């Protein structure tokens, strides 16, 4: 149950940066200095309120790679400088030492306000929703089992939420490796992942991956409940989907500082058939719900381009890694082809005319094909 497809998208983003010698988004964009779109940030005043924040942490076989990642994630909540925190751990049917590690940790930290819940395995979205339903906080946040919050995250975030018009606050993130080294700092501000931030239109969310992991969002519990939480049919893109549904109904604020240490290491779960199926499902969901049943051709084209390039980029990476899923990703791109704008549709109709096992090796050596 490790993480969402965001990890695979970030790997793809880094790969494209290396391939093209620059980020796939314009490198000259200014650093974000806005909270609401078009409004300058001013430091919040003193906030006498200390609302309860529930932090939902889904865990599943967390010791399979390195149990220290789980312990560090727990430490990052225990060490928050803002103290009115409830930790909700949801063990999603672990079969390894995860339960024992959590119990030992909680015994060593009796000061923590904790709910420890166990359930049959249902996937990460299901586990997050399960924990959210049990949570008691006014606000809710999420942390995955091998990521870490900076210790002052809530201290930085909560004063902004004193503005009662803010329903969802999200921030930037630092990318770390398996040895805790920051490999890519400020993935939004420095590397322009999911640019632009803050979002100013629905199209900003529909046409690009947004790179806003659940660990970056602090959400009013009432807002989370109102949209029904995570879509449990998604095991990738569930964070994009939640962000989109919240954005349609509630007031957002962006704080351009990193509050999350987002861990990436060699064990990449984005190369799975479940992730591939989730990508197809989410594409279909966006087309069905945000294009007037396909009548808005501009949105159909732009949404389809987003997923087409993801399939193609994934296919190339997988081919270069000798991963047999490259053929499934390639076929996924072919399935979206009829919905592209006329020019790329015409070009790739010719490309796809040739046998897959001849064209994919050729395209894996062609840089321009995979630029966005």
Over residues 336-356, the mean pLDDT reads 90
Burial class (CB in 10 A: 0-12, 13-18, 19+), 128: buried
Taking Cα atoms as reference points, which of 333, 271, 275 lies closest to residue 304? 333
Tell me what the pLDDT averaged over the chain comes to: 87
**pTM (whole model) above 0.85:** yes
Q: Which residues contact 358 (CB under 8 A, 6 or more apart)?
A: none
Tokens 């009796």 identify what position? 110
Q: How far apart are CA 216 and CA 5, in angstroms?
A: 15
- Per-residue pLDDT for 152 more than 80? yes
The pair phi, psi for residue 328, each rounded to 5°, is -70, -40
146, 73 contact by CB (below 8 A): yes
- Percent of the chain clearing pLDDT 90 (strictly above): 72
Which phi and psi (to 5°) does residue 111 adopt? -75, -15
Q: Is the pLDDT of residue 236 over 80?
A: yes
In order of their start, the domains of the chain are 29-263 (3.90.550.10), 273-370 (no CATH)
Q: Which residues are CB-neighbours of 21 under 8 A, at least 6 positions away? A: none
Query: Helix count (H) and strand count (E) of the chain?
Result: 13, 9
Mean pLDDT for 301-320 is 93
pLDDT of residue 271: 67
Mean predicted confidence (pLDDT) in 312-323: 89
The H or E element spanning position 242 is: helix 238-249
Residue listed under structure tokens 């969901």: 285
Evaluate if residue 1 carries a pLDDT over 50.
no
Which of 119-133, 295-309, 323-337, 352-366 is least confident? Answer: 352-366
Radius of gyration of the chain (CA): 21
Provide the 8-state DSSP code for 44.
Answer: -
What pLDDT sits at residue 37? 54
What was the pLDDT predicted at 8? 53
Q: Could you tell me what percent of the chain has a pLDDT over 70?
A: 82
| Mean pLDDT of the region 186-205 | 95
The predicted structure's pLDDT at residue 267: 56
């Amino acid at each position: 149950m490790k993480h969402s497809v965001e990890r695979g998208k970030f790997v793809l983003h880094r790969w494209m940066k290396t391939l093209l010698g620059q980020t796939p988004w314009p490198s000259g964009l200014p650093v974000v200095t806005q909270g609401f779109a078009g409004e300058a940030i001013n430091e919040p005043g003193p906030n006498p309120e200390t609302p309860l924040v529930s932090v939902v942490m889904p865990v599943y076989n967390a010791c399979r790679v390195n149990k220290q990642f789980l312990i560090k994630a727990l430490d990052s909540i225990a060490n928050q400088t803002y103290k009115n925190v409830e930790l909700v751990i949801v063990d999603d049917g672990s079969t390894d030492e995860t339960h024992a590690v959590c119990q030992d940790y909680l015994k060593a930290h009796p000061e923590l306000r904790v709910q420890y819940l166990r359930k049959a395995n249902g996937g990460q979205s299901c586990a997050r929703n399960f924990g959210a339903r049990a949570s008691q906080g006014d606000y809710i946040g999420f942390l995955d089992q091998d990521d870490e919050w900076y210790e002052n995250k809530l201290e930085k975030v909560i004063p902004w939420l004193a503005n009662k018009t803010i329903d969802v606050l999200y921030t930037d993130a630092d990318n770390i490796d398996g040895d805790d080294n920051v490999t890519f700092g400020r993935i939004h501000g420095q590397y322009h992942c999911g640019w632009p931030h803050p979002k100013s239109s629905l199209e900003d969310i529909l046409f690009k991956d947004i790179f806003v992991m659940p660990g970056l969002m602090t959400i009013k519990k009432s807002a989370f409940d109102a949209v029904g939480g995570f879509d449990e049919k998604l095991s990738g893109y569930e964070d994009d989907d939640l962000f989109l549904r919240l954005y349609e109904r509630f007031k957002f604020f962006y704080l351009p500082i990193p509050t999350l240490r987002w861990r990436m290491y060699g064990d990449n779960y984005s190369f799975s058939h479940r992730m591939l199926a989730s990508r197809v499902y989410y594409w279909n969901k966006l087309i069905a719900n945000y294009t007037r049943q396909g009548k808005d051709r501009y949105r159909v084209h732009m949404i389809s381009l987003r997923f087409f390039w993801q399939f193609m980029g994934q296919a190339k990476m997988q081919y270069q890694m000798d991963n047999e899923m490259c053929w499934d990703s390639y076929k996924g791109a072919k399935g979206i082809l009829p919905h592209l704008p006329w020019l790329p549709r015409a070009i790739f109709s010719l490309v796809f005319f040739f046998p897959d096992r001849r064209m994919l090796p050729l395209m894996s050596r062609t840089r321009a094909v995979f630029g966005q």
